[in-house]
Chain A
């Protein structure tokens, strides 16, 4: 009896994780029928070294429920939970997968969820009242890159002959949408509307897919206040499909291609139903992707809790990128559990560990396909917010021209680097993070970025000038009504 109690107390987070990992792998290796291995892994530290951490004083709310969508970029949440960061910050978090982005946002707004893994456009759109209106803020940006555009096998076969080849016969990347254009025209002439899937009207995927299509001179269509289908004047018709259903929808022939986060591009490769043609890293190098969203009300009422959860998420992001992605295999194992992303280990590993498989067998190195911490990935830059706002304006989701000051104002209302730096400072003080890893002195705007697929430079301080420089899209003074652009 004494022995038993003793051994329970000796179980620490690390040994437990090790044991679970080992047993899971073991179970998987044995086809599931075998009992789990009990031995902790060799690298686990002695039990005595894990100190009991008591949470910081004054946390307003300690029992939290966070929502997420089954995508690999929810990793900071899973890691903060599994590595015990939430608990060490005194937070008791339940993570819950949500059916789709709309459900997720609505549940954050009505308080069923305390916070969630969100599309960067969601807090912005909610705050300016496009869709459900609510003031959402983001103290933490979750990752860079991580999306891809996949087309069906049939479309790929039609595109492939036009694409330049390297010496070994593989296509030259990045592949622009100009190679898709003849296929789209062919389908349209045959009376088949060229349907493509994206995950949400204000999703990064919608804007990235539109950016790619427009850069290849395929019109993705405008939104207008009285027609929110986003298909006005469209050559490629974009519609919403929840991420995990993308492969099934493509397989069913409802759509001919889609833009989605991982693992749903690699899933198409594994299932042999489609071919990813480009990653968002090639559309816009190191583009901001998901954010962690909470209501402004929550942030105001629970400042200490907000700080604690931001600390936990930063620690998780550091862990994910530590030692040149050394922890990624462990992260992949965690994500492949059915309660998180749940896809097969190999499918998730394909993109999470620094590679990306295009056509079956054409696996290339993309070390920065998923960036969780380096390049200041977690700092909520105002310029990132402004870029999403410019795209909302470009495609008519923002119906009227706004001045540059408005963009700045909205960005500052939603993105909260002050909360982020506060949490980061306390981590540095506690010796849990390096001073050099955070941009302490930035004014929140990145330097002008030029690594887009169409080589147009983006300067977040001048959104209107940027909008004028884009070829397809609404310009100053233009509105969309009655199915046409009005000057």
Chain B
């Protein structure tokens, strides 16, 4: 909204000299074009329904725009309400040995419980730190200052910390996948020989489930990583499993993107006798970028999906382990807590996807310029 007022004032400043009628018209047009520009970014974040609202606010005909609002906001909200009602009605009818399947109200309550847990754990952490400070002072007073250590809180990880662990793990795995997948994809795209060499391997390894990779990764990580290296093995195991499963979309799409670069462009590069390095950075990469991003976006999606399974088995303290622990606890709140996790996983997966789309639009936009 503030953006709108700002543009209003700005527009008003520009057109002081013109007649009021015309000025109004001009101002409106300028405003519309700005809104249209903004709508591109709103679309990325699934907020396309804001555009027609802004248009109405700027004085466009309400009828046309309200229809858009209805389609963009009304129908989805209605669908969610229908879903919630159906869930609330149907869930209690499924009886398990842990009680009935929780409805939306129970799930929301458990979300609050998890939040309260977090707050309580933070209180305990504060007390831990206070004790630590007192102890350290006493140690200094006793002349044993060399033994003073500031250590992290040793208590349980709260839900938010587990989400954070999962995000770190997935991004680390994804980062490895891109670092391996993109250069290899470029090589494959540029050389038919490389393509022929790698293609069969990719086809064989692509459909392998994370659950099959995990035991192998676990053993290799245990054998090669020193225990006191400071990186937790469960973290590495999960991240590498994510890499192995999310590598393929980036690799394949990069190869495809690079191989479909306009031949004329490549020929021009040859005529100009560009160095290989320059060819890649100036010609091939910019044209292949949209497909590379598509691949990366798919990779991140696959990675996030794989991560939960990997964490469950590797005992990496993220969302996957949360789900597994709650399943094992088998308390009367366990199912509701697991559902909180399911929804969290879904929302985060959606946000990750949107972020990738945003990055894609940003980069490919600049590339086209």
- B230 to nearest A CB, angstroms? 12
- B89 to nearest A CB, angstroms? 21
Tell whether B77 is near chain A: CB-to-CB under 8 Å. no
Do A99 and B315 contact each other (CB < 8 Å), given the known contacts A8-B130, A16-B124, A87-B131?
yes
Report chain A residues within 8 Å CB of B147.
55, 57
Tell whether A336 is near chain B: CB-to-CB under 8 Å. yes
* Binary CB contact string for chain B from 206 to 242 against chain A (1 if under 8 A, 0 otherwise): 0000000000000000100001100011000000000
Report chain A residues within 8 Å CB of B98.
271
Q: Is the pair B315, A341 in contact by a Cβ cutoff of 8 Å?
A: no
Do A93 and B154 contact each other (CB < 8 Å), given the known contacts A8-B130, A52-B135, A247-B97?
yes
Tell which of B112, B124, B156, B334 has the most Cβ of chain A within 10 Å. Answer: B156
Do A35 and B124 contact each other (CB < 8 Å), given the known contacts A244-B328, A342-B331?
no
Q: Which of A25-33, A140-148, A161-169, A232-240 contacts B (4 or more CB under 8 A)?
A: A25-33
Q: Is the pair B130, A112 in contact by a Cβ cutoff of 8 Å?
A: no
Do A343 and B329 contact each other (CB < 8 Å), given the known contacts A27-B113, A54-B139?
yes
Tell whether A103 is near chain B: CB-to-CB under 8 Å. yes
- A66 to nearest B CB, angstroms? 11
Tell whether A416 is near chain B: CB-to-CB under 8 Å. no
Tell whether B134 is near chain A: CB-to-CB under 8 Å. yes
Tell whether A13 is near chain B: CB-to-CB under 8 Å. yes
Tell me the residues in window 334-374 of chain A with beta carbons closer than 8 Å to chain B beta carbons.
Answer: 336-339, 341-344, 347
C-alpha gap A103/B234 in the complex (Å): 12
Report chain B residues within 8 Å CB of A273.
97
Q: Is the pair A244, B329 in contact by a Cβ cutoff of 8 Å?
A: yes
Contact partner of B120 (CB less than 8 A), chosen from A32, A36, A53, A94, is A36
Tell whether A254 is near chain B: CB-to-CB under 8 Å. no
Q: Is the pair A92, B154 in contact by a Cβ cutoff of 8 Å?
A: yes
Report chain A residues within 8 Å CB of B329.
70, 244, 338, 341-343
Contact partner of A13 (CB less than 8 A), chosen from B116, B131, B313, is B131
C-alpha gap A103/B314 in the complex (Å): 10
C-alpha gap A55/B142 in the complex (Å): 11
Q: Which residue of A lies closest to B142 (CB)?
A: A54
Q: Is the pair A247, B330 in contact by a Cβ cutoff of 8 Å?
A: yes
- A154 to nearest B CB, angstroms? 15
Q: Is the pair A23, B120 in contact by a Cβ cutoff of 8 Å?
A: yes
* Binary CB contact string for chain B from 297 to 331 against chain A (1 if under 8 A, 0 otherwise): 00000000000000001010100000011111111
Tell whether B71 is near chain A: CB-to-CB under 8 Å. no
- B309 to nearest A CB, angstroms? 13
Interface size class of B (residues with CB under 8 A): 35 or more
Q: Is the pair B97, A35 in contact by a Cβ cutoff of 8 Å?
A: no
Q: Which residue of B lies closest to A38 (CB)?
A: B123
* Binary CB contact string for chain B from 50 to 82 against chain A (1 if under 8 A, 0 otherwise): 000000000000000000000000000000000
- A254 to nearest B CB, angstroms? 15
Report chain A residues within 8 Å CB of B137.
52
Report chain B residues within 8 Å CB of A16.
123-124, 127
Tell whether B149 is near chain A: CB-to-CB under 8 Å. yes
Tell whether A63 is near chain B: CB-to-CB under 8 Å. yes
Report chain B residues within 8 Å CB of A341.
329
Q: Which residue of A lies closest to B226 (CB)?
A: A111
Q: Is the pair A244, B135 in contact by a Cβ cutoff of 8 Å?
A: no
Report chain B residues within 8 Å CB of A98.
315
Contact partner of A27 (CB less than 8 A), chosen from B116, B227, B232, B325, is B116
Tell whether A245 is near chain B: CB-to-CB under 8 Å. yes
Q: Which residue of A lies closest to B158 (CB)?
A: A339
Tell whether A323 is near chain B: CB-to-CB under 8 Å. no
Tell which of A35, A96, A251, A347 has the most Cβ of chain B within 10 Å. Answer: A96
Q: Is the pair A112, B233 in contact by a Cβ cutoff of 8 Å?
A: yes
Q: Is the pair A52, B138 in contact by a Cβ cutoff of 8 Å?
A: yes
Q: Is the pair B119, A54 in contact by a Cβ cutoff of 8 Å?
A: no
Do A31 and B109 contact each other (CB < 8 Å), given the known contacts A8-B126, A273-B97?
yes
* Binary CB contact string for chain A from 66 to 108 against chain B (1 if under 8 A, 0 otherwise): 0000100000000001000001000011101111000100100
Q: Is the pair A94, B330 in contact by a Cβ cutoff of 8 Å?
A: no
- A351 to nearest B CB, angstroms? 15
Q: Is the pair B227, A110 in contact by a Cβ cutoff of 8 Å?
A: yes
Do A245 and B328 contact each other (CB < 8 Å), given the known contacts A36-B120, A52-B138?
yes
Tell whether A448 is near chain B: CB-to-CB under 8 Å. no
Report chain A residues within 8 Å CB of B326.
338, 342
Q: Is the pair B109, A338 in contact by a Cβ cutoff of 8 Å?
A: no
How many residues of chain A have a CB within 8 Å of chain B?
Answer: 55
Contact partner of A11 (CB less than 8 A), chosen from B112, B127, B333, is B127
* Binary CB contact string for chain A from 10 to 30 against chain B (1 if under 8 A, 0 otherwise): 010100100110011001000
Q: Is the pair A32, B130 in contact by a Cβ cutoff of 8 Å?
A: no
- A426 to nearest B CB, angstroms? 19
Report chain B residues within 8 Å CB of A54.
135, 138-139, 142, 144
Tell whether A9 is near chain B: CB-to-CB under 8 Å. yes
Do A94 and B116 contact each other (CB < 8 Å), given the known contacts A16-B127, A244-B328, A341-B329?
no
Report chain B residues within 8 Å CB of A347.
331
Tell which of B112, B328, B337 has the most Cβ of chain A within 10 Å. Answer: B328
Tell whether A272 is near chain B: CB-to-CB under 8 Å. yes
C-alpha gap A356/B56 in the complex (Å): 70
Tell me the residues in window 120-157 of chain B with beta carbons closer than 8 Å to chain A beta carbons.
Answer: 120, 123-124, 126-127, 130-131, 134-135, 137-139, 142, 144, 147, 149, 151, 154, 156
Report chain B residues within 8 Å CB of A57.
144, 147
Tell whether B246 is near chain A: CB-to-CB under 8 Å. no
Tell whether A449 is near chain B: CB-to-CB under 8 Å. no
C-alpha gap A98/B117 in the complex (Å): 21
Q: Is the pair B112, A32 in contact by a Cβ cutoff of 8 Å?
A: yes
Tell whether A150 is near chain B: CB-to-CB under 8 Å. no
C-alpha gap A76/B222 in the complex (Å): 29
Q: Which residue of A lies closest to B328 (CB)?
A: A244
- B34 to nearest A CB, angstroms? 44
Tell whether B110 is near chain A: CB-to-CB under 8 Å. yes
Q: Is the pair A70, B138 in contact by a Cβ cutoff of 8 Å?
A: no
Do A110 and B222 contact each other (CB < 8 Å), given the known contacts A70-B329, A338-B326, A342-B328?
yes
Tell whether A376 is near chain B: CB-to-CB under 8 Å. no
Do A32 and B110 contact each other (CB < 8 Å), given the known contacts A70-B328, A70-B329, A342-B325?
yes
- B14 to nearest A CB, angstroms? 51
Q: Is the pair A267, B330 in contact by a Cβ cutoff of 8 Å?
A: yes
- A215 to nearest B CB, angstroms? 31
Tell whether A62 is near chain B: CB-to-CB under 8 Å. yes
Tell whether B332 is near chain A: CB-to-CB under 8 Å. yes
Contact partner of B151 (CB less than 8 A), chosen from A92, A106, A247, A248, is A92
Contact partner of A244 (CB less than 8 A), chosen from B123, B130, B142, B330, is B330
Q: Is the pair B130, A36 in contact by a Cβ cutoff of 8 Å?
A: no
Report chain B residues within 8 Å CB of A9.
130, 134
Inter-chain pairs besides A33-B109, A267-B330, A338-B331, 17 sampled, C-beta below 8 Å: A16-B124, A20-B123, A20-B124, A27-B113, A31-B109, A32-B109, A32-B333, A36-B116, A52-B131, A57-B144, A99-B324, A106-B222, A251-B97, A271-B98, A338-B325, A341-B329, A342-B331
Q: List 15 A-B contacts (CB under 8 A).
A: A19-B123, A27-B113, A32-B109, A32-B113, A33-B112, A36-B120, A52-B135, A57-B147, A92-B154, A112-B227, A247-B97, A267-B330, A271-B97, A338-B337, A342-B331
Closest 3 CB pairs of A and B: A342-B329, A244-B328, A271-B97
